[in-house]
Structure 1
Amino acid sequence: MPDRLRGPLVALALAAPFAVGLAAHAAGGDDAEVVLTFADPEILESSGLVAADGLLLTTNDSGDSGRVFAVGPEGRTVGVTTWADEPTDVEALAPAGPGQVWVGDIGDNPGSRDSVSVARVPVGRGAIDARTDAAGATYELVYPGGARDAETLLSHPRTGRLYVASKSFFGGALYEAPARLDPAAPNELREVGGVLPIATDGAFWPDGRHLVVRGYADAVVYAWPSLAEVGDLELPDQQQGEGIAVTDDGRVLVSTEGQFTDVLEVALPDDVARAVAPEPSPEPSAAAAPPGQPEQPEAEPVDRAQDESLRTVPLAWLLGALTAVVLATLLLARAVRRR
């Protein structure tokens, strides 16, 4: 690339998210209600959002030290976790089990980082210093084929596996981390499918059957693991919306950069609400074993193809036997006539 073009292109890449954010602010929907307003003046650029343990957890965008804020229902900060002094570009949070979150130091606007990182840190009420805590171990992630910019980190609620969605004008990609992260070596990500362009955050529903990935103006709900699109969500006007979370009861919350900003609940379209509704629990069997007696083991499932062969093989034998009898009869009759 000629040197005279390199500077303008990098500047364009850095400025593009802000331009898109301004356009989203002018074009977003209004079907949302305020859940709370961040009262802490230290929350300047809410980038990631997690709803857990009755709290909202958020982190500032790049430029801050490594901090996670725990915010109570009234909008006041009730706890701060310090996990790093000088992270590179923090952009995302994801649930990591009771009392913990994953922090994603995954931002890379120029696309120049050899690797990015995630850290699992404790969160909750009060001041927590995780810089020397074993739970604050950092894991290095590398993309296949080179650097990617990303602001979206997700964790599957059933498996705990981590996913990163890249941020690109030409369409984002979802990458899967190894099932077990190695703290001593780079962990290679694997691409598993495509997501919307300019992804700024994402989250799974509690049952793990669906996920949502947001941009500045809208969000897309996907089925998991097919990544088939279930529906779109038009997001409310926000200064620069970069956070999204799904609560334990399936509500969708969004946050934005800016001081003293609102966290909003987004209404789901009827078709999306029906799709993401939890599956009904199976009804107890009417033929349960009497008290004091062990339940009978379930029958081994039979493969459908195998079951089909079990029904068709005896019929094939019967037809073969009838054919052999008919041929034998014809040959015998012909032999009799020749005599």
Structure 2
Amino acid sequence: MLSKPGEVLVRVFAVAGLTAATVLTGQGARAGAVREAEAVRKAEAVREAGHGVPAGTGRAADGGERILFRFRDSRITESSGLAVSPTGKDVYYTHNDSSAGPVFFAVGPDGRTRATFTLRGAASRDWEGMAASTDPRTGRGVLWFADIGDNLEGAWPDISVYRVAEPSALSDAVVPAVRYRFRYEDGGHNAEGIMVHPRTGRLSIVTKQFAGAVYQAPKRLRTDRVNVLRKVGSAPIMATDAAYAPDGSSFVIRTYFSATVYRAPGEQIARVTMPELQQAESITYTRDGRYLLTGSEGSRSPVYRVPLPETVLGVAAPEPTSARRQAAPTPTGAAGGPESTPVARVKADEDGAGADTGIPTSAVLLWLAIAAGATGVITLIARRTR
């Protein structure tokens, strides 16, 4: 076990490594924030000029992305999860990062909060992501909130995901939630990505590590015991969020620097250029599946809409088997979600993009050098404090 100084140094060197990686990519937080502010300023100027364009709809300089809206609620300072309402029109959900309480917000297309909801009996140790799905039996929307952050990689004996029936009215309320507890089959991990398959209801969690992975939940979730998450594939370095396409044809994993769309774990379709953000924390699909929405932490942070490439839009969703037509879990009882799509390996996208690392090789090498130096210092401290 490390001494207290050793533990502090581990965190210091880790932060230093990530900072160096950010600098090397040329996507520093300050430059991203300046570009975001300029894009929003131009969009709002167009609206005020009387051209009938809503706030936040100006196009960015390149890539085809545009700012959809900017969060206007002063309480939304660390938007860490993002989801589109599966049943309501122009309703977007978000929640803050850790230490903000078990609260989520329903936001309109103008970025203004339309309702605030509190989960009854839930905790918010480190909420890092959310997902939305539809109950196939009732057609009602379902929201999932992931209390899965663990910066010490195993400090918690288990993690939690809360299932909430989508509120039927956009008015402040306290809503009931069902808690599912999980543990990884191979020990603790830090994670920020959660996704739920729209056809099968099966849940997956994506870890945020330099050797990240996709972990799949059991077919049927239990509320009376801890559910075991099993590794089904690798994930890009430092993944901050993930989401399934509305038709289940693909899923996307976001990192601080890019986003990659997959057919299944290990089956990369395409890499998608992302706008520069202060701290990219969230990603989801629009309801028509043609665009990605991505957001950032920070006060009045923007949500961008990014078009998907044709290589992604041309991928058809797999036909569900009879097993995949089983109903999704109900909020009561011990049983949970049904079977997921199988994991197979196919040819990567024709653009020649290899496995996405999320961070350039040069940044990884620098981080490793810093980590090696940290190891030496920690060893020295350990010897002196024995």
For normalisation by structure 2, the TM-score amounts to 0.66
Corresponding residue of 1:46: 79
Cα distance in 2, alignment partners of residues 70 and 18 from structure 1: 33
* Unmatched tracts of structure 1, length 5 or more: 281-339
Corresponding residue of 1:91: 128
How far off its partner does 1:209 sit?
1.6
Question: 2:172 aligns to what SS in structure 1?
Answer: strand
Question: 2:11 aligns to what SS in structure 1?
Answer: helix
Q: Retained in 1: the 8 A contact 2:280–2:297?
A: yes
Specify whether residues 210 and 91 from structure 1 end up closer, same or farther in structure 2 by C-alpha distance, changes over 3 A only. Answer: same
Cα distance in 2, alignment partners of residues 30 and 118 from structure 1: 37
Q: 2:260 aligns with which of 216, 220, 231?
A: 220
How far off its partner does 1:255 sit?
0.6
Specify whether residues 58 and 19 from structure 1 end up closer, same or farther in structure 2 by C-alpha distance, changes over 3 A only. Answer: farther
Question: 2:313 aligns to what SS in structure 1?
Answer: helix
How far off its partner does 1:34 sit?
1.0
Question: Are 1:257 and 2:306 counterparts?
Answer: no
Amino acid at match of 2:156: R
How far off its partner does 1:87 sit?
1.5
Corresponding residue of 2:8: 7
Corresponding residue of 1:287: none
Amino acid at match of 2:128: E
How far off its partner does 1:268 sit?
2.4
Per-residue displacement from partner, 1:250-271 (whole Å, max 9, x unpaired)?
1210010011111101122333
Q: Retained in 2: the 8 A contact 1:106–1:151?
A: yes
Q: 1:244 aligns with which of 283, 288, 291?
A: 283
Larger radius of gyration: 1
Q: Retained in 1: the 8 A contact 2:133–2:143?
A: yes
Q: 1:105 aligns with which of 133, 147, 151?
A: 147
Amino acid at match of 1:238: L
Cα distance in 2, alignment partners of residues 223 and 214 from structure 1: 15
How far off its partner does 1:218 sit?
0.0
Q: Retained in 2: the 8 A contact 1:21–1:241?
A: no
Q: Retained in 1: the 8 A contact 2:209–2:239?
A: yes
Corresponding residue of 1:165: 206
Cα distance in 2, alignment partners of residues 85 and 139 from structure 1: 11
Corresponding residue of 2:182: 141
Q: Retained in 2: the 8 A contact 1:106–1:118?
A: yes
Provide runs of 4+ in structure 1 moved above 2 Å.
1-7, 10-31, 96-100, 267-275, 277-280
Cα distance in 2, alignment partners of residues 158 and 17 from structure 1: 37
How far off its partner does 1:86 sit?
4.2
Matches within 5 A, 1:67-86: 67-83=103-119, 86=123
Cα distance in 1, alignment partners of residues 159 and 28 from structure 2: 30
Amino acid at match of 2:132: P
Q: Retained in 2: the 8 A contact 1:89–1:108?
A: yes
- Structure in which a larger fraction of residues adopt strand: 1
Cα distance in 1, alignment partners of residues 144 and 230 from structure 2: 19
Equivalenced residue count is: 273
Corresponding residue of 1:33: 66
Question: Are 1:58 and 2:101 counterparts?
Answer: no
Q: Retained in 2: the 8 A contact 1:79–1:123?
A: no
What is the RMSD of the two structures over their aligned residues, measured on CA atoms?
A: 2.4
Corresponding residue of 1:204: 244
More relative contact order in 1 or in 2 (CA 8 Å, sep 6+)? 2
Question: Are 1:180 and 2:181 counterparts?
Answer: no
For normalisation by structure 1, the TM-score amounts to 0.74
